[in-house]
Chains A and B, each alone.
Chain A
Amino acid sequence: MLKNIVSSGSRATREGFGAGLLELGRQNPDVVGLTADLMESLQMHHFQKEFPERFFQCGIAEANMMGIAAGLATAGKIPFTGTFANFSTGRVYDQIRQSIAYSHKNVKICASHAGLTLGEDGATHQILEDIGMMRMLPGMTVINTCDFNQTRAATIAIAAHHGPVYLRFGRPAWPVFTPDNQKFKIGKALHLASGKDVTIFATGHLVWTSIEAAKELAEQGISCEVINIHTIKPLDDEAILDSVSKTRAVVVAEEHQRNGGLGDAIANLLVHQMPVPMEYVGVKDSFGESGKPLDLLDKYGLGKKDVLWAVKDVLDRKK
């Protein structure tokens, strides 16, 4: 039920990563951490403090960090690399492609400060193409978590999955609304609210935005199904088709370019299996800029109002 989904307060998703990594460190001696001069930004200092011998500071040299992670994985370790999403993907694409993805290495690429909500640092750091780049790589698992609890659970879950993983999260404090004791299942969509008029598929920070929009739409008599797609690859085809066969209208919301992200992943599925009216909430082929996170989401069409409009647009087309 939508109205039962409430925020218990705000915490950054990256803090969930830090907490999860520390727990993992205690559970599994093969887990090792690496950073490229962003240890505290990624909240990896908790792990580093308790397991200094299993943590490797790589300096400002991300390409080398990815290669070192590949080597550690080759010899049986489970490396977690931590840097900003921009430096975790675009800067090191070829290293990930050859040394990690093509070589089937069990490396967990953990990426913070993704998207516009990085804020004031501006477009140089606000990567909006990373999901696209990562989901194009064969064999790569791509996850974008929505709150502190989910990020913590996902961090723990990916260690038990053998293979390369891209785990994307963000910088700002954000409403926490998923259970703190949840089990995270890679590739399994999270059904948040049932509805009959439209399905909103959302990932990352925009899950909360979508919940708020759905609550407002409910007051207007529009019934939204809200599904959290935390795993963009492999996509939960079954859950998506189940929902769409019922609602016959789709809105996808993500903090990413419209090109290449979750929207395209779902469109790719639906165009083959169940073509229905669909709208994207995402950045329209543009770079970001400096500003406060919420102001940026508003300006670039990723706010609650944009989800509302997208729902209304798609319902018009459904008629």
Chain B
Amino acid sequence: MTDDTIPSSPSLAERRKQCNFYYMADFSKLHELCAQVRRDIVRMVFNVQSGHPGGSLGCAEFFVALYGNVLKHRPKPFKMEGKNQDMFFLSNGHISPVWYSVLARTGYFPVAELNTFRKLNTRLQGHPATHEGLPGVRVASGSLGQGMSAAIGAALAKRLDGDKRWIFCLTGDGELEEGQCWEAIMFAAHHKVDNLIVTVDWNGQQIDGPTDRVMSLGNLPAKWKAFGWDVLVLEQGNNLEAVIAMLRRAKRRTGKGKPVVILMKTEMGYGVDFMQGTHQWHGKAPNQQQFDSAMQQLPVTSLGDY
């Protein structure tokens, strides 16, 4: 499968800038943001010796592509209702480190606040929540299987309002073992929710081991197709250009009566050699030695650490 080429459109960038929308057209800057986000993830998890680095690292390209380049969004002032903006829902809430890092670095809240992750009185709860008023989060997630339903609800509201923007949602692959996901998948096809783009983080890992061993997902593309979705497969989920191209392609596939899903193959722990490709780092913090090794692999960027 080939991904579409990426059109550059500085005029669009300029227009968005004037409207206070966040948009980064410069790919070298997006790559740098990816590198910094990876540093943030490992530092945040190391700092409190808890959290979920594996899935977070694997989704760095996705979040940077989405928030840096694809979403039409206004970080400040953050509006819960998101009218005339694209909205994103994270269903696999345990990968909060990557989301928090990207939210902070695209202007939702001060980057320094990343230092409070998982600490008492923080807005950066272990799993994302609205309760403390963290800008960027619209519904709590962590108990798995619920985010897609909320995303569909928001998509229905946009449709009722005649709002032409998109709803994006990320869900884990292991998470698809939750029955509610398939209720949501069935609903979205039945109600022709075609302003919705769901991405599955298809890393093939979950807490107790590879998904194939824990609870096989079988032929995932065939299942989504059978449920009535327009299915796209992205083989290179850790290739920033490929992710951006795929998200844009998915947008072009919307509005045709079907919800769109991107089955995005990623590698858990991508970017840190000893965390890569294994379920062992799903929810474990590195020790000092491992941290030092990770920091050597993830060089400092011009964006600077929090």
A-side residues, CB < 8 A to B, are 32, 53-54, 56, 58-59, 61, 63-77, 79, 94-95, 97-99, 102-105
Q: Say yes or no: A67-B150 contact (C-beta < 8 A), given A54-B160, A77-B157.
A: yes
- Whole-angstrom distance from the CB of B167 to the nearest CB of chain A? 8
**Given A98-B141, A103-B129, A64:B81 Cβ within 8 A:** no
Contact B183 A75 (CB under 8 A): no
Q: Which of A54, A71, A104 contacts B152 (CB 8 A)?
A: A71
In contact, B186 and A68 (Cβ under 8 angstroms)? no
Partner among A64, A70, A71, A102 whose Cβ is within 8 Å of the Cβ of B129: A102
B148, B156, B161, B191: most-surrounded residue (chain A CB, <10 A): B156
Complexed CA–CA distance, A104 and B143 (Å): 16
B151 close to A (CB within 8 Å): yes
Count, chain B residues at interface, CB 8 A: 39
With a 10 A CB-CB cut-off, give which of A68, A76, A97, A104 has the most chain B CB atoms. A68
Q: Is the CB of A67 within 8 A of B148?
A: yes
User: Which DSSP category, helix, strand, loop or mixed, fits chain A's interface?
Assistant: helix
User: Contacts A63-B179, A64-B180, A64-B183: A71 and B141 contacting too (C-beta < 8 A)?
Assistant: no
B191: which of A56, A72, A73, A75 is its contact (CB, 8 Å)?
A: A56
Decide if B138 is an interface residue (CB 8 Å cutoff): yes
Would you call A71 and B156 a contact (CB within 8 A)? yes
For the complex of A and B, the 4 pairs showing the least CB-CB separation, nearest first, are: A71-B153, A67-B149, A75-B157, A64-B183
Judging by beta carbons under 8 Å apart, are B153 and A63 in contact?
no
B76 adjacent to chain A (CB < 8 Å): no
Determine if A68 and B130 form an interchain contact, defined as CB atoms under 8 angstroms apart: no
Q: Are A32 and B139 in contact (CB under 8 A)?
A: no
- In the complex, whether B38 has a CB less than 8 A from a CB of chain A is no
- Please tell me if B6 contacts chain A, counting CB pairs below 8 Å: no
Residues on A with beta carbons closer than 8 Å to the beta carbon of B191: 56
**Most central of A67, A77, A94 by chain B CB within 10 Å:** A67
| Interchain CB contact under 8 A, B160 and A53 | yes
* Known A-B contacts A54-B160, A70-B153; A95 and B146 likewise in contact (beta carbons under 8 Å): yes
B82: chain A residues within 8 A (beta carbon): 74-75
- Could you tell me the distance in whole angstroms from the C-beta of A59 to the nearest C-beta in chain B? 7
B123 touches A (CB below 8 Å): no
Q: Is B255 an interface residue (CB 8 A)?
A: no
Query: B145 contacts which chain A residues (CB < 8 A)?
Result: 63
Instruction: Give chain A nearest CB distance to B193 CB in angstroms.
Output: 10
A66 to B187, CA, bound (A): 13
* B83, CB-defined interface residue at 8 Å: yes
Interface residues of B in 141-199 (CB under 8 A from A): 141-143, 145-158, 160-161, 179-180, 183-184, 186-187, 190-191
Given contacts A53-B160, A94-B143, contact A74 B149 (CB under 8 A): no
B187 touching A74 by the CB < 8 A rule? Answer: no
Q: Contact: A72 with B157, CB < 8 Å?
A: yes
CB contact under 8 A between A71 and B89, given known A32-B160, A98-B140: yes
Q: Is the CB of B151 within 8 A of A98?
A: no
Q: Judge whether A56 and B156 touch: CB under 8 Å.
A: yes
B243 within 8 A of A: no
Closest to A32 in B: B160
Residues from chain A with Cβ under 8 Å of B17 in the complex: none
CB of B243 to closest CB in A, whole Å: 24
Tell me if B29 counts as interface (CB < 8 A to partner A): no
Q: Is the CB of A99 within 8 A of B146?
A: yes
Cβ-defined contact, A69 with B140, below 8 A: no
Residues of A within 8 A of B151 (CB): 71
- Please pick, from A32, A59, A99, the residue contacting B149 in the complex, using a CB distance under 8 A: A99
Which A residues are in CB contact (< 8 Å) with B161?
Answer: 75-76
Given A32-B160, A74-B81, the answer on whether A67 and B131 have CB atoms closer than 8 Å is no
Q: Is B33 an interface residue (CB 8 A)?
A: no
A74 to B81, CA, bound (A): 6
Chain B residues contacting A69 (CB-CB under 8 Å) are: 153
> In the complex, A56 Cα to B140 Cα: how many Å?
23
The answer to whether A63 touches B180 (Cβ under 8 A) is yes
Minimum C-beta distance from B250 to chain A (A): 19
A72 and B180 within 8 A (CB)? no
Closest B residue by C-beta to A68: B153
Complex contacts, A104 vs chain B, CB 8 Å: 130-131
When chains A and B are docked, how far (Å) is the Cα of A148 from the Cα of B220?
49
When A99-B139, A103-B129, A103-B140 are in contact, do A74 and B146 touch as well, CB less than 8 Å? no
Q: Please, which residue of chain B has its CB at the minimum distance from the CB of A70?
A: B150
Please pick, from B83, B142, B157, B158, the residue contacting A98 in the complex, using a CB distance under 8 A. B142
How far apart are A77's CB and chain B's nearest CB, in angstroms?
5
A75 lies within 8 A of B154 (CB): yes
**Contact partners of B131 in chain A: CB under 8 A:** 102-104
Q: A71-B152, A74-B81, A75-B158 are in contact. Are A64 and B130 (CB under 8 A)?
A: no
Residues of B within 8 A of A68 (CB): 149-150, 152-153, 156, 184, 187
The distance in angstroms between the C-alpha atoms of A70 and B146, with both chains bound, is 10
